[in-house]
Structure 1
Amino acid sequence: MTQQTTKDKKVVIIYSGGMDSYTVLHQAIHEGFVVHAVSFNYGQKHSKELEYAKSVTEKYNIEHKIVDITSINQLIGGSALTDNIDVPEGHYEEDSMKQTVVPNRNMILLSLAVGYAVSIEAEAVYFGAHSGDHAIYPDCRTEFVDAMNEVCKIANYTSIEVRAPFLKASKIDILQQGLSLGLDYSETWTCYNGREKACGKCGACQERLEAFTENQATDPLEYEAY
């Protein structure tokens, strides 16, 4: 799904390389926007997702920046995604998955993406928060997104809108939308462990597998446990 460069409506997509932001990316292109993807290396163990992001943007000729912000780990820590802590197994509804919270992550990433949007005269920043994140990630909840949206409209001379199109949708819904667009989810990485194959046991893997099962589709990724 190569975007039409003749369009002049620009948006910035916070693109992790996972299936949610992958769907948001292609949905924005489908709606006629010229997308500028930005990915962040914040020291996440699953930095393999950045390789997938790079591959996709090169394949579809999408403007893409990978920004190294690993130095922030001097200030924030305590997450299983960035520190020497085992990634917990189990569903997102389980309390142990709170170990995967990275302090203030989305506020930091959104702030940087909004600055980028202002500089290239884009109208909005998109990110892939969804309802399945609400249980353990405060910065993926409606109250947070609404508040950030209001701040980002007044933080610069240019008003930037924060859009989370799947905020009230589940990963099942997101996959259904992506499949209807003919998207290839072998181009995405979800697992919190950045090994050769997805673990199949962490909350991210379990939610992804559930989405494919509920959509009566086969996940194209290989799993260690399946």
Structure 2
Amino acid sequence: MSHERAPGGARAVVLLSGGLDSATVLAIARSRGFDCYALSVDYGQRHRAELDAAVRVAGALGAARHVIADVDLSRFGGSALTDTSIAVPEGADAGAPASASSNPSIPITYVPARNTIMLSIALGWAEVLQADDIFFGANAVDYSGYPDCRPGYVQAFERMANLATKSAVEGRPMRINAPIIDLSKAQIIREGARLGVDFSLTVSCYQADAAGRACGRCDSCRIRREGFAAAGLPDSTRYQTG
């Protein structure tokens, strides 16, 4: 799900949510020699703290440009992340870690078609930039069980991209890079730290407050906290309490 070092001056679009996974992916893309164009999506999520974090991360990691696209999925709801009337699960209700080989119950924090929409926007920008690579922070090891984070999904989107784009038809196929898809959260954190990612700039919490402080109780917070512990690195996450 990843590719070799880029030729000089090659461009890549990097999906950047503002969380630690996408920050690490941006650092990986840069380490491979790409000029990185960071793309975040304001999709009507519960808070803007992650988008604010994406601005900080793009600046810190030297993105050539950072764009925030607007697609209001809150018009449809259907997820605790886009419908404030649906509570974000906490504690035991947030579930246990999923694995790529299991068939977990998909949590209410899954946002219908979100990754497909984001990758489609990235694909359009990549064509305009004449960039042959998109980087995407999908992970299928320590994750919440979302179906659009699995290797088969990423492979299928790449096939679709190479059927649907002018650049591919004219001989420049698109590559969808998912360099952390088979890494544990601890491995992702270690790789990000090795590449100089400042994780204190990132926000992963499903219900962070306006200051970007994490709740410490949702599934994303649990996975992040356990990842730092397993990596043996200090957790720089700012929590609302404690």
TM-score, normalization: structure 1?
Answer: 0.90
Equivalent residues in 2 for 1:50-129 (5 A)?
50-62=51-63, 63-70=65-72, 72-74=73-75, 76-84=76-84, 85-90=86-91, 91-93=94-96, 98-129=107-138
State how many pairs are aligned.
Answer: 219
Distance 1:225 1:99 in 2: 25
Identity %: 39
Q: 2:147 aligns with which of 138, 142, 146?
A: 138
Q: 3-state SS of the aligned residue for 1:98?
A: coil
Deviations 1:204-223 (A, max 9, x none): 01110001101111111221
Change (3 A) 1:128 1:44: same
Cα shift at 1:194: 2.4
Distance 1:44 1:216 in 2: 31
Distance 2:144 2:56 in 1: 31
TM-score, normalization: structure 2?
Answer: 0.84
Deviates more, 1:199-208 or 1:89-98: 89-98
Q: 3-state SS of the aligned residue for 1:132?
A: coil
Cα shift at 1:10: 0.4
Q: 3-state SS of the aligned residue for 1:99?
A: coil
Distance 1:97 1:202 in 2: 15
Cα shift at 1:73: 3.1
Cα shift at 1:7: 4.2
Q: Does the Cα contact within 8 Å between 1:46 and 1:191 map onto a contact in 2? A: no
Distance 1:131 1:34 in 2: 26
Consecutive unaligned residues in structure 2, runs of 5 or more? 1-6, 98-103, 168-172
Deviation >6 Å, runs of 4+: 94-97
Cα shift at 1:28: 0.6
Partner amino acid, structure 2, of 1:163: N
Could you say what the CA RMSD is over the residues aligned between the two structures, in angstroms? 2.0
Name the structure 2 match of 1:3.
none
Change (3 A) 1:161 1:92: farther
Q: 1:157 aligns with which of 156, 166, 172?
A: 166
Matched, 1:224 2:227: no
